[in-house]
A = this chain, B = another copy of it.
Amino acid sequence: MKIAIVGLGLIGASIARGLKGTAEITGIDCDATTIDKACRENVISQGSTRIPERLDCDMAVLAVPVGSITSIAEMVVPHMQEGAVLTDTGSTKAGIVRHIEAICPCFVGGHPIAGKENPGYDASQATLFQGAVSIITPTSGSKKDCIEKVEWLWKSLGSSITVMDPDRHDELMAIISHLPHLLSFVSMSIAKDIHIHRELLGAGFRDFTRIAASDPIMWRDIFTANKDRVLKLIDDYTHELTKMKDIIKGDRVAELEDMLRTYSSIRRNLYDNKG
């Protein structure tokens, strides 16, 4: 299997490392230093900072920021061989799938649920997807053999597969990932001056705010791409927060306890209290 990976950041380079010995990898990245390093470290067999006239591969993987996926797809598709499969690793799916399906009959969207706060080639690791779940989002127009090749990709990297409609994916990810990241980012607005008391930051603060250290560009793109669903959830959340505020303000202690008990139960049930 010959695979081209466009974008050798955390995700792209981790795919390349994980497929070592299983596939022949061509790496494409706008940064020449990264290409050099990846060649030297044998993470890729050959590399280039531009898309070659004829992209000699069975599958191309777009591992670039969400905001660039469709434009990069437009650049890549004309250079692909007939029958070669195209996939991506973006954290949003509906808009991307709609756009790329219209220009490439062999596209199947993907999204590995794996990552780290630190982005970039140097953070990549062969085991990033082992034991993780990768979502793929075929539609009624997707070809069976294309779906199977994308499934093969993630299984080869040690992931299990969940198949999901692109819209359902974005709805679910807004809840599971996008809103939590947004809320954690915003919590830093009230934490500006606490560096003088760093010794007092407990495990709760550390965990709650960990995702606030995430990559600003990646999250700018995700919030923009999944805008409608994220805005709706901000409204829902603000509504609940205001309810909580009114209860505390009004000293409605029994109601407050009930509400906290409900929330605590939801969390405990999600992880069978082992989270």
Contacts and interface: CB of A to CB of B under 8 A. Distances in A.
A53 interface: no
Say what secondary structure dominates the interface of chain A.
Answer: helix
Indicate how many identical chains form the complex.
Answer: 2
Contacts of A182: 244
Interface stretch (A11-19, A93-101, A223-231): A223-231
B195 A176 contact: no
Contacts of A270: 191, 194-195, 198, 201, 209
19 contacts: A118-B273, A162-B200, A176-B191, A182-B244, A183-B187, A183-B208, A184-B208, A185-B244, A188-B266, A189-B237, A189-B240, A189-B263, A190-B233, A190-B240, A198-B270, A208-B211, A216-B261, A216-B263, A224-B253
Interface of A: 113-115, 118, 133, 135, 160, 162, 172, 175-177, 179-192, 194-195, 197-202, 204-217, 219-220, 223-224, 227, 230-231, 233-238, 240-242, 244-245, 248-249, 251, 253, 256-257, 259-264, 266-271, 273, 275
